[in-house]
Structure formats: C-alpha cells, structure tokens
Structure 1
Amino acid sequence: MPPIQITSTEQFNSLLTSSRFVVADFYADWCGPCKAIAPVYDSLSTQLSRPNHITFTKINGDQQQALAQAYFVSAYPTFIVFENGRKTQTVQGADPRKLNEVIQKLASEATKSDSASGQAGEGSGSGGIWLGAAVPRGYSDITDQIDQKGLELLNRDSQHGLPKTLFEASKPSALAGKGKAGEKDWVESDTDEQLMLYIPFQSTLKVHTLHVTSFPPSADDAEDPDEVPMRPRTVSLYTNRSHVLGFDEAEDTVAVQTIEIKPEDWDSKTGTAKLDLRFVKFQSVTTLVMFFVDGDGDSDKLRVDRIRIIGEAGEKRAMGKLEKIGDEPGE
C-alpha cells in the first residue's frame, strides 16, 4: 500500500503505538531531492507495508513543524525508522541505495521476529510498546531515555519486581490476563506504603506528563487478604537531584510539584492515571525523584505496575533554515 500522509501529531503517535515498525519520510514541497527519491520510497512502501506491523508514512515538515522539531529534523529529506515507538535509525538525504538497504534490513528483521514469536498476540509483550494512556499532542513516549543502571527504589519488597520492571515495554501481566503466573512484573512497598524512586536520564529532557499504572488485586485474589496493596494517591516530584532522597529528607524538602491522584483519575480499562505536570517547571530535567507518599486506602502496601515518561528528549533545537540535501551550492 502507498505511504500514509500524516496530517496531525495525534495521527502519527497513534501509528507508533499500533504498528511495530514505522518509517517516516520528512519532506517539503519545495525540496527537489525529496521529489527525486519519492518514487523509490513509494515502491518500498507498496512492496513491504503490512497492516499494524510495517507502516510507511509521509510527513510534510512545513505543515507538521511540531513533529519535525520533536524528532530534530534539520534537513530534507530525512527518513526515520521507528521500532516499538522508539527511533532506531535515520537516513538523511536522497540516497536510494542507503534507503533501500535500511528498509530491506528492517523487513528482514520483522520476518525473523515473526518466526521467533509465532506471531504472538496482543498482551504478550512482543507486539509493541504498551501505553496505558494517550500521549498528549506534540509529545512522545521518552521512557527509553532512562539510564536503567542508575535506577534506585527504596522500600521495595524484594519478592516482587526490580526497579527496571516499572519501565518494561510489555503490557502488565494483570491486564494481559496472566494473573499470578510467572514472574511478578510489578513492584510493591515493604515495611509501609511509601516508595522512593530515583530516575536518572541519558540526556536532558522536557517532561510533560507521567503515566502511572497500578493494578492492585481484590481481597479474594490477594496473596495475603490482610495486606491488599493500594494504588498511589499522593506523589511528590523532585528534579535534578544527584542521588535518591531519603524519606526524612524528602519530607523536609520542598517538592517541585505534589500531585494527588483521585479515584476517578484511574482509567478503568488500563489501570493508568495521567499525572499532568506544570510543564514550565520540568524543562531541563536530568534526574527525577518520584516519592509515593501514600495510597488510596489503609493498607501498608503500595503497588505500581508501570511508569511512562512523556515529553521531549534532548535539547530543543531551533529549526533554522533547512537544507535541501543533494543540491550543490549555488543551484
């Protein structure tokens, strides 16, 4: 099938979540090299497109400037390959050989992946990045910017998941219908309901929204009916700290923002609450501390299944004057 013309950021973000592989062609109507390579790109799209698996798109950078800025497009044409919503490769310029090489390799990897997974169904974790809530227009899931080696989680019950479990790309087992089978892919607090999570990033971020997913079991399904874990209620956020805060230290430190999650904020289908941040206060974030202060109930246990970071990765760069790659000076 021919490439899909992107007319909004929301449309593109939807494709990133519904299709495992997405190829984006950033172009401009005035760009000669863009027009020259368009038949090659269209041909690859016709040959290799597969619904919900490999999707080819075309993005007019002049009309969709928010997307061009979000992915740091500085020249036309620029081709970007995404896998599971993450940018994996960029081809800049009208180079048919290079473009064909990259996309054929993508198709080969997709085929191998299908054979290995037996075309696993939704909920298996192999079909793409799971998101518990919609991504705000103009922003993207930047959870992959986390430096997982530096994660710290205080007061974690060791019988459950590790800190990195919170940022896994797979759908939570509670939602996928796996119940208690297999590894426990969530975290719970230990001695009381509080958790302190330290998140370092690989680059400076602009953080717009946080998605917090929590699936506490019913009393009938809980391992210990007397200690049914709760969903988080109060979350305090601290930015650009060089280390994890102690609980006493956090209570004596003014938070950048404290959010109260109300019962109606939790999506009934995905178990996810969107934490809208005061964006102006989260413009240059290198580390984030999330202090889960209390839960929605009287238990001594708090449960968190997934966390997603939504915003912009890297320093925001001005678009400036875009080059037409492939044209010689003076043409």
Structure 2
Amino acid sequence: MSKTVQVTSAQHFTQVLNSSRIVVADFYADWCGPCKAVAPVYEQLSSQLSRPGTITFTKVNTDMQKEIAQSYNITAMPTFLIFKAGRETKRIRGADPKALDAAVKQLAQEAATADEGGSTGESSGGSGGYWLGAVAPRNYPDITDQVDTLGLDFLNLDGEKGDKRSLLAPSRPSALAGKAAAAGPKNDWLESDTDEQMMLFIPFMATLKLHSVHVTSIPSGDGGGDSDETPLRPKTLKFYTNRSHNLGFDEAEDTPATQEVEIKPSDWDPKTGTAKVELRFVKFQNITSVVIFVVDGDGEGERTRIDRLRLFGETGEKRAMGKLEKIGDEQGE
C-alpha cells in the first residue's frame, strides 16, 4: 500500500503539516506529462523514507485543490515543496528526479541524526515539541524566540492558570493531547480574570518586522467545569507597537491602535483551535515591542482563553539596553 498522503482539502494539508516534522508535497495535475514521468520516483522515495510523525509525502492535485496551489504560488507542474516544522524550506520546479532525490534524502539524514542524538524537539505535552498551530506564512519564519520573556507584562490574568511564558511555549498545547498539562500545579494556558479583557505587553530582543500572529484558543480543552463557565475565544484584538511599557485598559481605549482585528468563528481551525491573524505588514516594520489588547470574546461569557501565540516575520538588529525606553519617549509616552 502506498504511504503517500493524497491531500483532500486545505484543512487536511494544515493537519498534515502540524503532525509531521518534515512534509514533502508534490503539486501535480492529471493532464501533466512530466508529472506522470516523475511520479514513480516520488512514490519510491515515499515508500523508502516515510516515517510517521517525522517524514510525510503528500500529493496535491492543483485542479482539485486550487486554494492550496494559489496560497503557495504554484505556477508550474510539477512543483515539489519541502516543509520543516510547517515552514517551506525548499522548492523544486519541474520534473528533476536527481534534485528531488538529493533534497529529500538530505532531510531524511538530518531527521535520522536528530533522532539518534535524542534531539527531536518533542515534549511530553503532545506529538511534537515545536508546534505552530497553522501553516507558517510563506517566506516568514517563526520569530517567537525573539521575545524578551523577562519583560513580559500581562494584565487581568487568572493566577490559577499558566504563567506568562506558557503563552509562548513551543510545545503542542496539552488540551489538544487530551491530557492534563505537564507536572506542576498550573495549566499551560492563560485565562482572563475579572472580565473578558486581557492586556499583553510583549517586548523583543531585536528590532523586528512582524508579519502575522497565530492565536490558539481551546475553550473546552480542559475537559472539566460547568459548561456555563467555559471561557471564550478572543474576538476583537487591538495591536499597539513600540510601547515602552504596558497600557492600562482605560489608556488603551483612548489610544489609537496600530491595527484592530476581528477574528471570525470561521477563522478558527477546527483541528488545532488556531486562527491566523494577518497584520498590515507596512505598519509593523522596525518594532521593538507589541501590545495586544484582547477587547472581548466571542460569546456571552466573562472570561477569555489563549493557549498559544506564535509570531512570524523578520528579525533585525539586536536591541541595545535602553533602546526600547528611548523609542517610547520619542513617541510622547
């Protein structure tokens, strides 16, 4: 039986990218002669190298899955894309068996070396330690590791839930694994306290260009409690850039936001509980901090919940000590 996965929808493709460390995708068409010529080579590589959770080979029919083809700007068939941790790392256009064979076997060797060294990046909280929640935007890597965690300042949090660093953890949320969080008295997600609003001040260790944010929220993921007490997913988010400190709630209401975003119910991926928030990239250039104001939740409850945030963009120069404060002063804070 073939080990190659035939992609049936955009959500299916997202699921595959989230469940395997390396994914190889063959974008093809039934009418494409070169696609048929290289297909046996691809199938042989799939048969030899496929490993559950580590290397997955997929085929994407560009006529049937136009949304996926357009999102990755596929203009010629066949085109082979290679993803690592959900992010595209290599693209091979045309029926080039030698290039395809070399690229895939190199990745397979890297995966084998990582496994032998015990460095898989996995944790006990799920099937993979490095977790994005959704497909990374093309050409923009995950830059969450550029957050200055010592400078995080969050307002209106329920102290019985996870600490601030839980929000930026690289691991799969425990709620998706169907089990309790790792050892410790706290859970690995954040909830608001007295009402549905939260204020999240996130400083960076470098000057960044912020392209988009993945927000993961799994309201019923803890599997307990009264259904009337189920927290809400965030609905309205306001973003503020280059602040030297967190904003108060009254101050935020009176301060023009860099961008305001409304997350619709259809934006949440049903498998991962993640919504992709795309920012107006031109407004998020050369930033040293971002404040995310969770204005309200999607429903009638009194609390909101966020399991993970992942940030995507470009990293610039390392921020010198005191530079953030200076920027804030220049903006009249």
Is the TM-score greater than 0.5? yes
**Structure 1 vs Structure 2 CA RMSD:** 3.7
Aligned pair partner of 1:311 in 307, 310, 313: 313
2:118 maps to what in 1?
113
Distance across 2 between alignment mates of 1:234 and 1:185: 23
Structure 1 counterpart of 2:156, one-letter code: N
Indicate how the Cα distance of structure 1 residues 133 and 106 shifts in structure 2: closer, same or farther if over 3 A, else same: closer
> CA shift at 1:138, angstroms?
1.1
| Contact 1:140/1:312 (8 A) holds in 2 | yes
Q: Can you list the C-alpha shifts for 1:91-142, whole angstroms capped at 9, x where unaligned? A: xxxxxxxxxxxxx99987743426xx9x979x74473410111111111111
Shift of 1:177: 1.4
CA distance 1:106–1:130, change in 2 (3 Å): closer
- Cα 1:148–1:50, aligned 2, differ >3 Å: closer, same or farther? farther
Match of 1:139 in 2: 140
The 2-side partners of 1:235 and 1:157 are apart by 19
Pairwise mapping of residues 33-48 of structure 1 onto structure 2 (< 5 A)? none
Q: Which residue of 2 aligns with 1:214?
A: 217
If the length of structure 2 is used for normalisation, what is the TM-score? 0.60
Alpha-carbon spacing, 1:142–1:16, altered in 2? closer, same or farther (3 Å): farther
Q: What is the CA–CA distance in structure 1 between the aligned matches of 2:110 and 2:136, rounded to whole Å?
A: 29
Q: Deviations over 1:213-262 (max 9, x none)?
A: 000018x9442443220000000000000000011110110000000011
Rounded Cα–Cα distance in structure 2 between residues aligned with 1:259 and 1:146: 22
- Tell me what 1:227 maps to: 229
Distance 2:274 2:18 in 1: 19
Q: Determine if contact 1:85/1:129 at 8 Å carries over to the other structure.
A: no
For the residue of structure 1 that corresponds to 2:167, the secondary structure is helix
Partner residue in 2 for 1:149: 150
Aligned counterparts of 2:299 and 2:54: Cα–Cα separation in 1: 42
Matches within 5 A, 1:179-218: 179=180, 183-217=186-220
Aligned twin of 1:253:
255
Partner secondary structure for residue 251 of structure 2:
helix
Q: Secondary structure at the match of 1:144?
A: helix
Q: Does structure 2 conserve the Cα–Cα contact (< 8 Å) formed by 1:19 and 1:128? A: no
Contact 1:213–1:304 (CA under 8 A) maintained in structure 2: yes
Unaligned ranges ≥5, structure 1: 1-13, 21-48, 55-82, 87-103, 316-331
Cα distance in structure 1, aligned partners of 2:137 and 2:188: 26
Displacement of 1:84 in angstroms is 6.7
- Alpha-carbon contact 2:157-2:193 (below 8 Å) kept: yes
Letter in 2 for 1:189: S
Partner secondary structure for residue 141 of structure 1: coil
1:160-217 Cα shifts (integer Å, max 9, x gaps): 0111101101111111111578541100000111000000001011111110000001
SS at match of 2:131: coil
Q: For the Cα contact (< 8 Å) 1:17–1:128, is it kept in 2?
A: no
- Among 236, 239, 263, the residue aligned to 2:238: 236
TM-superposed CA distance for 1:50, in Å, is 9.7
How do 1:4-153 and structure 2 match up within 5 A? 18-19=20-21, 110-113=115-118, 124-125=125-126, 127-153=128-154
Runs of 5+ unmatched residues, structure 2: 1-15, 23-48, 56-83, 88-108, 318-333
TM-score after normalising by structure 1 = 0.60
Aligned to 2:281: 279
Q: Distance in 1 between matches of 2:150 and 2:21?
A: 29
Contact 2:242-2:289 within 8 A present in 1 as well: yes
Q: Distance in 1 between matches of 2:163 and 2:188?
A: 8
Distance between the aligned counterparts of 1:222 and 1:178, measured in 2?
Answer: 12
Aligned residues: 230
Q: Greater shift after overlay, 105-114 or 168-177?
A: 105-114
Distance 1:243 1:268, change over 3 A: same
